Structure 1
Amino acid sequence: MSSLFRLVSALPLRWLHAVGALLGWVVFLASPTYRRRFLDNARLAGYGLRQVRAAIGHAGRMVAEAPRLWLASEPPACEVRGAECVQQAWARGRGIVFLTPHIGCFELSVQAAARRWSAQYGSITILYRPARQRWLAQVMQTARNRPGIAAVPTTLQGVRQMLKALRAGRAVGLLPDQVPPQGMGLWAPFFGRPAYTMTLAARLVQQTGAAVVLARCERLPRGRGYVLHLQPLAEPLASTIDAAVLQINQAMEQLIRQSPQQYLWGYARYKQPRAEMHTTGDTGTAAEGRA
């Protein structure tokens, strides 16, 4: 299977996106559960199928492009817009917490940022949960530890490494709309409905004074590449954890509304958190999600 992944990684991006779009529609039409969740989540945000139907194909493109993003020696073209806010954040010297929802090519967000800034400011640290399948775990380990990226496990030790990176003035990346395990988050509104939301992103900022940069990696038509949009958080992060988590959810909503056609509306954002035992420490939480 890993050989197939490597073969697929060599295909042109436009081919992968064409096949992926078809795959997205096949899954949407074949799975009533997925289709219902997609439509319900979009409806909560005020969108009908006509407004977000392109997201069906983009979900498939996300799957089809993964081998190329993980294994290709030459990464896809990615223009960076809003780099000035990142430069301002580096100038503060307290590190950066990059936050991106499940939108567009979020896998490429960290790769593009690492290519742009890691040589000068050090690797970007992300949380990483190994796949259950051995072959896929090996592929993903190679992919996640690309130059300029430090992938750490979703454990207390991984969280400590993120704190260490921020305190050294480096950057970390998180997907704050990912549902964390039970006990590792709190319930907060997301498009008006309570969603179990990680507290890790807010705690990292509160404990280190790091800057928050919001990221959205847009997939361009016909395999022409990507655009990474970067912007600062509109207001300083709140000092209380409940308010900070809500503020981050609201920031993710704003990013999604910038490009609802590329959001993963089929993601089970409102599911009950799974039970999982973790040891807590000075972070006040444990590993929550991955980037």
Structure 2
Amino acid sequence: MQFLVFFCLISVINAHVWNSDGSDRIVSQFIEMFAKTLSSQNRNAICNLFDDQYVFVGCTRQMNKELGTHLLTHLPAGTQFSFQLVKSCYKHQNVIEFSANVQGLGAPFQAQFLLVLGRGTFKLTYGTMTVCQQVPVAPVAPVAPPAIVDNSQVIVVTFLKQLESVIYQKDFQRFMQLVADGFIWQDCSAKYDRTQTIISLPNGACQTSKLLSYKVVDSSCIEYTVITKGVQGTAVKVQFTLHLNQNGGQLTGAKTLECSMAQNVYNNGNNNNNNQYALQQ
């Protein structure tokens, strides 16, 4: 039965990208699968519903993937936990924002979520309370929500997933669409144009990428830094420049950073899965 739900969901995804009607149907399928997974109380299955960098910003505290999984696997017996979809829309290709009424965690509340659809995967990557009661208390420094709320991180994560799929499949034509003509990768020992880059990338390149940081240069440009496999097959720290356009975005340049330290940084990073984007095969 679960396989059937997965199959139906993937069919819907392929048929309704950027379609608001399709987004409601996909979220409804996800909510149905979420409920079935939760009822199984299988910790690994519940954990897999969330992106590694998932965070829920509540009115008084934040909750990451680990805390969220722990909470959902330790609900009191008889708890009727449920989502009720209110509305949804595509924010970017394969990224849906939806609002839902949530019951089963104390008083009912409404929250807003981001759902990232990957190649055969779908994960919650962000959530926040829609309305918080105003309680007269002493001023407290607000906890800054993750940068994902301004959509920049969503853009980068979505682009990384697209690029990973293209590289994994060696889809030369699609790679040319995601990487601008004139693109140059300044590696430690050589420069690569976009054709040389796709040819030189090793098998499995970008199978996993750890997003370290990003910054918005202007309204149409984002620079982001990742640790991933480079053109020589070793783990490297790379800064990319992503220019946004009506089709999503194109890489216009890349630069390998800290060449002598890249391997050690990557190995250390792999020991901390809390900060790693796992790009599923």
Give the structure-1-normalised TM-score.
Answer: 0.28
- Greater Rg over alpha carbons, structure: 2
Q: Which has the higher helix share?
A: 1
Give the structure-2-normalised TM-score.
Answer: 0.29
More contact order relative to length (CA 8 Å, sep ≥ 6): 1
